């Protein structure tokens, strides 16, 4: 199980790289630099010459290559999880990761073939974050720390706060994706004001979405501060909660700063992409905090009882009890 956990962490790292690559595709306007799919200029994707990866092709084809790699890593992840993890819901989570990455690949292809229709591109961006969340969840569920802390005290307020915060962050990411894919990143060209005022003096769809993203940022920041404050005040002795809560505050402050620089720099691609990637880190950190705050609920959930050769089937044996007793993995 420990090696599976390490492998999932590798998939998580590759997914961060994939999100960065996807961010660069949109930020550099390279989404249609390779007009065909799944081939690249009529050639088999993996045999496309490196020296032809010029201009926008570098970003688009590079994104496809990294995506294919993550796809293959996810196939192995699903098979490995299915084989070694005794928890049925974790095994199905591995399968859902595979389903998500396949659907994500198809959405990526469709958005190219249909010339970047905004709903498909936004769906592609939204599903990317969900896939990332699944891999982060799998990394958490297979971690030694998760196994150890099943008896942690429950806090219903924290559960609600963390869940709402994570949901708000995901909604905010969807608004951000909409803003990017309808080309409204500079619909309000100044920051922190909007056309020199607190509220834009005139409106259109682009300004509305852009302004919604700014209002969303304020709400999300307040929600994160409330959640982190709750953790710091009520759970200061629980490092598994304090660490992600603190990290969450750091990430969200970084995110607001990056958002400001995105506007001030006129959508500079690297800053824009850093904003996208950091947004994913905000979401995943909040997810970890949410899942850890729900730890006791997982402990009371129906679990599959496994008896294999008198010892726990877990590779790490963390929950295994000697003597061939039944071992529950939850």
Partner 1 sequence: MFLKVLNTSLAAAALAITTIACSGGAPAPAATTPPPNAKRVDETTAGSVTGKVTFEGTPPASAPIKLDSDPACAQQHPGGLPPDSFVVSSGGLENVFVYVKDGLGDYYFETPTTAVTLDQKGCHYTPHVFGVRAGQPLEIVNSDPTLHNVNAMAKVNQSFNLGQAIQGMKNQKVFKTPEVMVHIKCDVHNWMNAYAGVLNHPYFAVTANGGSFELKGLPPGTYTIEAWHEKLGTQTQSVTLAAKESKPITFAFKAS
Enumerate binding residues for partner 1 (CB under 8 A): 28-39, 41-42, 44-46, 52, 54-58, 60, 109-110, 113-115
Q: How far is the CB of 248 from partner 1 (least distance, A)?
A: 36
Nearer to partner 1, 113 or 205 (CB): 113
Distance between CA atoms of 260 and 39, rounded to whole angstroms?
38
User: Hey, is 37 helix, strand or coil?
Assistant: coil
Q: How far is the CB of 55 from partner 1 (least distance, A)?
A: 4
Nearer to partner 1, 114 or 191 (CB): 114
Q: How far is the CB of 93 from partner 1 (least distance, A)?
A: 24
86's tokens: 């005794």
Distance between CA atoms of 198 and 16, rounded to whole angstroms?
35
Nearer to partner 1, 117 or 310 (CB): 117
Beta bridge partners of 306: 327
Nearer to partner 1, 37 or 298 (CB): 37
Distance between CA atoms of 82 and 5, rounded to whole angstroms?
13
Nearer to partner 1, 28 or 166 (CB): 28
Q: Are 61 and 53 in contact (CB under 8 A)?
A: yes
Q: Are 58 and 286 in contact (CB under 8 A)?
A: no
Q: How far is the CB of 48 from partner 1 (least distance, A)?
A: 10
Nearer to partner 1, 117 or 239 (CB): 117
Q: How far is the CB of 296 from partner 1 (least distance, A)?
A: 43
Cα 210 → chain centroid:
22
DSSP 8-state assignment for residue 40: B
Q: Where does 28-155 have alpha helices with state H?
A: 55-84, 88-113, 118-141, 144-148
Q: How far is the CB of 189 from partner 1 (least distance, A)?
A: 14
Question: Per the omega criterion (within 30 degrees of 0), is the bond before 38 cis?
Answer: yes
Query: To which residue do tokens 């905090």 refer?
Result: 289
């Amino acid at each position: 199980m420990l090696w599976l956990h390490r492998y999932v962490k590798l998939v998580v790292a590759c997914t961060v790289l994939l999100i960065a690559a996807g961010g660069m595709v949109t930020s550099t306007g390279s989404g249609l630099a390779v007009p065909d799919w799944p081939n690249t200029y009529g050639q088999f994707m993996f045999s496309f010459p490196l020296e032809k990866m010029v201009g926008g092709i570098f970003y688009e084809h590079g994104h496809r290559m990294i995506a294919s790699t993550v796809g293959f890593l996810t196939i192995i992840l699903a098979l490995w999880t299915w084989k070694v993890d005794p928890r049925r819901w974790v095994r199905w989570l591995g399968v859902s990761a595979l389903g998500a990455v396949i659907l994500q690949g198809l959405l990526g292809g469709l958005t190219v073939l249909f010339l970047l229709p905004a709903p498909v591109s936004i769906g592609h961006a939204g599903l990317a974050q969900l896939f990332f969340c699944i891999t982060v969840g799998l990394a958490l569920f297979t971690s030694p720390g998760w196994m150890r802390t099943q008896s942690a005290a429950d806090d219903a307020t924290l559960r609600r706060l963390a869940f709402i915060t994570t949901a708000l962050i995901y909604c905010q990411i969807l608004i951000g994706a909409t803003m990017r894919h309808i080309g409204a990143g500079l619909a309000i060209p100044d920051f922190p004001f909007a056309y020199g005022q607190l509220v834009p003096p005139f409106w259109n769809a682009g300004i509305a979405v852009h302004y919604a993203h700014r209002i969303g940022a304020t709400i999300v920041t307040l929600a994160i501060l409330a959640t982190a404050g709750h953790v710091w005040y009520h759970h200061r002795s629980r490092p598994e909660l304090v660490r992600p809560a603190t990290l969450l505050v750091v990430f969200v402050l970084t995110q607001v700063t990056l958002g400001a620089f995105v506007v001030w720099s006129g959508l500079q691609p690297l800053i824009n992409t850093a904003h996208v990637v950091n947004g994913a880190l905000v979401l995943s950190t909040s997810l970890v905090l949410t899942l850890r705050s729900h730890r006791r609920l997982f402990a009371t959930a129906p679990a599959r009882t496994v008896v294999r050769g008198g010892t726990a089937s877990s590779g790490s044996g963390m929950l295994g009890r000697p003597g061939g007793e039944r071992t529950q993995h939850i």
